[in-house]
Structure 1
Amino acid sequence: MEHLKRASDEEPKVLEPVLINTDTNDRINIDKNEFKIGRARDNDEIILDVMISRRHCIFRCIGQDEWMLKDLSSSGTFVNGNAIGSGEVQNVCSGDIIQFSPNETFKYVFTLAEKEHCVKKARIDEKILDTVLVKQRTFAENQECQRKELKNMLEINQKEQIKLNQQLENLLSQQAMAKDDKENLLKQITALEEKIKACNSQEEDLKNMYSQLLQKLENERLQFEARLNEEKQKWQEALDMSKQEKEMLEIKMKDQMKKWREEQQAEWKNMMENKVKEEKNIQARLMNEKTVLEEKLKSHVNEKTMLEEKLKETEKALKEQEAKTEISQTILGVNTSNESIASTSECIFLNFNGDQIEVPQYEIIDTIDLTEISQNMLETNINQSILGKVSNIMDEQLTCSICSELFIKATTLKCTHTFCQHCINLWNKKQKSCPVCRKPVVSMIRSLVLDNFIESMIDNLPTELKNRRNEIIQEREVITTKRRMY
């Protein structure tokens, strides 16, 4: 009886921390010493919202009814309006206002309430229904154990009652047989009847308690199944929401990737069009420069031709003048070794009047400077002049600003400045900007037109310049080969 009374007594009240939503009054029972809240499936409380992090926060018990809150989120956790730093810990007390993320929809009141008899909420998982079935079997086994215990007690009482009835029958038979000591037997019979009556009363109480226990167990079973069905429905809804959220995220990611690809393709298309335009502009500019150089070369060739013609005319006039001078010397009888008829700087024409030979007045018709006139010297000077002008143009327009040499594998940047490929590669290892205008280096394009033009012009330059250029090319190839090896 005492055991049954202890079993029927209520369990002592236990306080449990609870989060109550300030708007909807929804409750979150914190039924573990370390309770996780977040959007991921392995949390103890799952909140499916984009404002909630996958691992948002943790409630941890640090003593008797003492709790602390640790923030793990990227969107923030607030206690009484004050934000907790990421990874920091703060103690919470009953009555504190706790808000997950800046969205006030997730604002809760932390309080300590009486613990309800409920089944621990399992985390959402694809196999959650298997866990529910295990819990249901455990609950049914517990009920069956209590029922069997009470049934055994009732059977023991019935056996004791049967034993007392047998004793009563024995006493009644002894009373019929015995003639003496009837009073003693009557007392024993009376006492035994009282025991039987008490035992009957106890049996009735046990039957009532057994029926009440069965009713209580049945009610608890119905309540348990109702709560399980509610939990199943919530878990199924959460699973459906999680799947729907996953599908929405996948669709959103596909749209973003498609949009990003289109933007990248448009950007690359515009970049390539700009590069083609820049290349065309560079080619047009180089063609104009080439045309100007060709015109200058043609003008120099024409000047050279005119000078050669003038030199031929001068030589012809000089020969005619020498012939006339020899005739004059013969007529006058003047020794050419003693007298100089015409200096190296002057030519003199003689006039003859009839048959009479007279020494006329010398009349200076023209003066020609022949001290430096020579065909070979003139051609050399013209060639040097042309080469000097071409060399100046190449030094000004076709020289790398890094190494101060003619372009070797000319490479043009997006900012239209051109450098040697070797030089700009070395420069980019230190700085990712143009050495001239300091703009970022986005792309580099080889300029084959410049290379071909420079190589064609190098063929007309002196051998020293050709050898110097070949040495530079060989040095750079050796450096590039070593870098590739190491």
Structure 2
Amino acid sequence: MESTTTESCSAEEEDSSDSEVACLMRVGKKSEWLRLFGNTEVTVGRGVNVTYQLLSASCPLMISRLHCTFKKRKDDGQWTVTDKKSLNGVWVNGNRIPADEAHLLRLGDSIQLGVPVMGSKVEFDYVLVQQPLKDIKLHLAKTHKEGATAAAITESSKRKMTMEEDEPSTSKPKLYRRSSSDKSLAKACPPPLKKCQLQQSRSQPEETGSRYSSFFFPKTVCRYSQNILLLREQVDDTQRRVASLEGEDQQGDPLVRERVQELQSQLGTLRGKMHQMETLKKSFSERRWPEKTQQEEQMRQQLNDALQEQKKVIVEHALSRQAFEKILSAKNKELEATKEEKERARAQKDEVVTQMTEVLENELQCIICSELFIEAVTLNCAHSFCSYCITQWRKKKEECPICRQAITSQSRCLALDNFIERMMENLSLDVKEKRQSVINERKGERCVWEFVRFVQIFAQEVCLCC
């Protein structure tokens, strides 16, 4: 991790060592603490024009170019943090704050920049504290000059790796002139590989070896390969320049011989660096390969365990499904049995009703109207008829329609009427409606007959009076 501060911020560090200053204390480290300056806005990100430049060792894009800003409010002196639409966010006390909104901070708050990678802890984890400057001065991040120099070297190395030979450059390389009369042979000095880049490539596996997981193993090897390719290009370019100058060495120009010696010296240096880089790449690969193999084996074992667990879950679900299907089948059988019992009961009921209907029609039917007894009447000979039917019969004959015995008396049979009415409740609706229509019809005829009888009696009385 590299950190830089602006010149104005560096000047403020010259304050009294006894004064208390606000600081972001790095969790788990006694260095790279970020001092917060009250008279200016503190910017944090991986870009160049920021107060503190944070470069993630595990994930280069974890920190945005302008990740967040810290600012002290003038009214109450409280510190605020603002997320500048960063990719991985700013987390205060475990909660991500909204973008472009100033969030109030208190002493002791936890500020995390970014998210954990591969189950590890957050790389940039800070706690807001306020302590005397003399107590934390040794733990603060590097000043602007040191950080700016390192950033310039890194940026220059990146440009050198991507530039073509024929691409124009903003800086003019030093020309080694052969003579004043022949300037066409003057050539630029081949750019040597930056020491910072080589030292970073050599020291990086040693510093971060314990922290890197197998996930970043291909990236490190790729970085070594890029450095080796860059060195090979410089070696080839130097060899071409040496061959070109050696062809012109016959003229005996001491400048050319001096230049050839310098290029040969550079060529030997570049070859040594390339050999050293290949050795580092090989040693890193040999050291990292067992760890990668072991982690792959662990991942394979975890995958197998997960598959076995998934198979167990599938088997349990299948057994549960079979048990449920058995229960459902038993319930369906019970339902079918219940339906069959209901059908049998309904059939028995219909059969009983049919038998009752036959009994009523055979035994409780009036022989005159062929209907069930309506207001049953029993004669002196013990035969029963409808009251209406026997009345109409006696107008013609005074003898029993069945046995022809003389009728001397008749009486209502209420027990027979009640029995018929109770039995009618279990008969069909058509039978009930038919019986009710017959009853209504006979009531109407009885009323008419009584009215005619009344008129006849009234006429006889009138005749007697006259």
TM-score by length of 2: 0.37
Taking CA–CA contacts closer than 8 Å with sequence separation of 6 or more, which of the two structures ends up with the larger relative contact order? 2
